[in-house]
Structure 1
Amino acid sequence: MTKHRARFFPAVLFILTAAMGGVFPQSIIESQRNLIRNAASSGSDSAAQSFDAAVPNAQLAMSSAEYPVTAGDVYTLAFAAGTQSVTYAIPVDASYKIRIANLGVLDCAGLTYLELKERIINLVHRNYPMGGAQFILTSPASFLVTITGEVEATVQKRAWALTRLSSLCKPEFTTLSSARNIEVVSEDGSSKVYDLFKAERGGDLSQDPFLRPNDTVTVKRIDRQVTIEGAVERPGVYDLLKGENLKALIEDYSGGLLPTADLSRTELLRVAEAGSPGEKRYLTARDVEADFALLCYDKITIADYEDLKPVFFLEGAIQQTLEDGTTSVNPDASSRISAEFNSGEDYASFLRRNKTWFSPISDLANAYIIREGQRIPINLNALLYDASVYAGVQIEPYDVLIVPFRQYFVSVSGSVRNPGRYPYIPDRTWDYYVGLAGGIIKSQNARESVEITDVNGNALSKTDSVTPETNISVKTNSALYYFNQYAPVLTMVLSVISTSISILAVSGVL
């Protein structure tokens, strides 16, 4: 009997343990699931706003090893006390003293979320080894930061523990604000100066810290702000520190020179000297090596050898690009543009890259080049659209490429009722266009006598094809028309003569 009891009690103990184990893990799993759902729902609205720097987000905070425990945070702790599932909300106030259920009080000042989580879970496990503790951040704190100094206006802006200095203060900058000298005074009165340029350019994020509750940010005024442009990697406006001048501006701030930079033609525009409206100075490579001293508002321009490329000119039916990006060509006026090219380049390769310069009214077949007073014909149709043409006339400096107009109309003048210009229609004869002009005035023209010339002034017969810009002149050759024009004048003259003779005869003069 005793042996049976010895076997029975371990079996009962095993069954009870298994039963409790089935209840205990299930309750803890449900608690953990609820905590995760709450944390996810608290951050979902922020996620929809692309994690706005000023909007607290619990998921983002828990994914960051740097998130500091902040007054106003609300955490949730869940664990099992025996067979009972326990859940506590733990708010953090300005004292940074938090009560962990009935287990004690912790000082969480200066801790990150992960450090606090480790301490709390260790505390729970010491008291409830099988507690399965879970600790999450459910509501990150938000707080106000004051921004003052050289800003548009002193403001208080909302922030949270993962808001960096730059994201909050840079939108308030004026043209005189310095990103190199920003003072942050903490709630305890301690202060530190930060340089946002080092953070942005060099990646030193210690110069772009996370803000804390009741910080006061003071933006200082610029000391020396200079501009550099031209043949450098990073042109822009920079604030120089004490002791930094031209060499540092070129090598450190602007990232160095481009391969095509020409230091012998460096320009300095200085407007800061008292009593001077501004002056331009010309610097050389020697001035760069000597670290030429710069003043506030100096503007440096590094010349580029690309600026010295040879040029040629295009005139005639050329399209011009407008400010809105569209192209325009005036059918009644010639355009002239200048174009840079590389030495040794020919017209074929250059014009194929820029074929958008030409329009439907460009007469490409009759283009020509004026070079030192000589006229050189060039068929641009072949250069642009014939794949077998891979080379052409080489471009020379100051060439003038003339592209004539090819306007699709026919002019009708002379003895017609409505002289003018009419749209060109292929395969139409001369009488079609005369008909558009109202027809020949029969009283002025005899035998349908017309004079037809093409765009080059060559005479055409009535049976020749009419081409664009042909001129059709209907002659005024009717003898009766001219007689009717001059007969009244002759009659008047004869009448005057006859009357004069009669008067002279009566008066006895004749």
Structure 2
Amino acid sequence: MKNVIFAFALLGALLMAPQTKAQDLLQAKDVSSVNVDNLSEADLAKIQAQLKTNNMTIEQAEPMLLSKGMTAANVAKLKARLSAKSVASGSQTTSTPNGGRKQVLETNIKVKDEANALVFGSELFDNPTLDFTADLKLATPVNYVLGPGDELQISVYGVQQYSASVPVSVEGRIAIDYVGQLAVSGMTIEAATQKIKGAIAGVYSTVASGQSQVSVSLSQIRTIKVTIIGAKQPGNYSVSSLATVYNALHVAGGPAVNGSYRNIELIRNNKVYKYVDIYDFLVKGDQSANIGLKDNDVIRIPAYLNRVTLEGEVKRPGIFELKKGESFQSLLSFASGFNELAYTASINVIQKTAKEFKVTDIKQADFKTYLPQSGDVFRITRILNRFENRIKIEGAVFRPDTYSFYTGMRISDLVKKADGLKEDAYGKRARVTRLKGDLTTEVLHVDLDKALTGDMEANLVLNKEDVLTVYSILGFVEVFKVIIDGEIKNPGTYRFYEGLTLNDLLVEAGGLTGSASKRVEIARMLISEEIDNTNPNKAELFNIDITPENNEQSKNFKLSPFDVVNIRKMAVYEKPEMVAVTGAVHYAGKYVLASKKARVYDIIERAGGLTSLANIDGVKIKRPIKAKQIEELESVDLNLGKKDSIQNKLEKKLKEDLKYAIIPVDWKSIVKDQRSSTNVTLFPGDIIEIADFNEGVKVTGNVLLTSEIPFNKGKGFNYYLDAVGGLDSKGWRKKAYIIYPNGKAAVTHSFMFVKSYPKVTPGAQIIVPEKPEVKKMSTGEYVSIGSVIASLALLIVTAFK
């Protein structure tokens, strides 16, 4: 009955508006308008407390909430928020993996403190993976003080055996079977062990004689209550009796937004027992202040007294808290010092006065004495992007580089630093590029030879940031080229050197090919200071005979810059080329074109002639389509528009589908007269194809049934179309055509509404194409045409009146 009453009260609580206080939630009667998203943390805490008091879960209250008008979605949200809050603020019991010592841990969900993110030390409490919980696997400290809630594991082993887990009662006593009660509260674990052993020895005689041993260990650690004030999540916490100050601070989320990290107070028995400075741990790793807690300890985090900001070129910029008497040098140590680019001669600090801001400069000598004031903002700037003693030398020296400058340095001194001049150095002139005081640039020219021989006027005194450029005579020399082309293995452009001969160039280009002739033509450019209009020549030609076998010529010809060498090909040098014969011949295969005018009849005769199964009407030549033909087609503009589909399809068909052009051959005519026009001259790569005799006629395309019909001598074109069931709905009869076995094609003709169909022969193929789609005119288009005709008629009638 109690649960039912509470459920109705809970329904009333959920009905109230999000702004309603938690203690008024129980008075609501309808929960249909409750928005769970807007319930505050205090509202959730009150609901959670009431559920706990009445021994009721949110799952048990769910049916009542639904009956009172709360949506299923809102119920699910409420369950999720209550579950998350339980995880965030609940406690958790942990134990060792082998079921050993246990303790209670307080856990909180860690949320990044964005408002305090720059404060040095805040990351210590935002990291959920960082913990200061005592390690339960370690031995119990001998100075551990027992109290109510602890549990001891007492074992007797040897001749006599006994084992029991004995809790410390609220009166501070433990009860051991056959021994009685012993007071252990307030004793250290070491002292309690001795007391227990003595009491057991009075009962177990083998313990007194040493035949049995007694073992006492701490199996469960009591929880203690501590209060934390001034933290992000202040409150009373139940923690392990082994918990330390840092453990408690971590559970509470660390200092609040204005909390101190340097003056945390541990209050015990109403007195400050210890001051905790977290910076000692962060900067030095010193945990001497991380002492163990006792029951009813209070950790008080006061507000900070002095915080300053350090930004710019330091290793760890941020907001730092300073104690009284700490100088800027101490602040710098908290930030781990300057980084490599920091300007350290003077520090700029912005300070706050009673009315406004002011700027102060702190010299390096004052770092240890300047005491920062609360609110100071220190800005560490970068060093200047310039050098105080840099000088540079470049060009024809052995070690061009940047060097250190000293007062009184001269040109000869800098050249000596660079290990002297290289062999190609130009000594008549060197250049000094100088940056003047007003940051403009001037150029000074010196005689380098005189400067290095002791002429003080030429050996200028240098300034810092000067750049000395030593020229190279190689930079004045033009790089010449020669060209070789023709029957050479590596034709191309080669660098010209003084004394380069034709023999040298032939060898450098890999030597002559096997087709090279003895004739070499060299073209040389004409050079003249005056224009000779009477000379029409643009180049001078030289014809030289060489010996192709050894890449040499009788007279070694000396080349000049920009010569063009052409190695001619032999007048007669053609590799044997072949054609192929396939199909119904006696000796099918490839045949060399022995004659420049070899014809179809000649090759078939060399192949043994046609067999008895050959179709004399089925001789054709397949000639490969060359890439050049496709390029020529691509270059032709059919005036079909840019990227027209018709031309694109034609090019694609030539490239991918039609790899060969078909040349029909009339073998009967060739046999009668070899001078027949169909006895064509063959080209390399041609394929002569002789089909086997086939009595069938194939019908394909837009017909009802693609099939092959036996040849009937007396039947015509329409007979074969009817034999396959006729045309389908898209078939175009008047455009039907036939392809004969030799590749020749014929189409249907019409004259005065009379159609003339091509003759059908054995082995032929009839193809019926598809009708083109014709867009029909709409009713509106017919009306428009009628209107135009009517207007024209009216105009004509009016004109003849």
TM-score by length of 2: 0.30
The structure carrying a bigger helix percent of its residues is 1
Larger relative contact order, structure 1 or 2 (CA cutoff 8 Å, min sep 6) = 1
Q: In terms of Rg, which structure is larger?
A: 2
TM-score by length of 1: 0.45
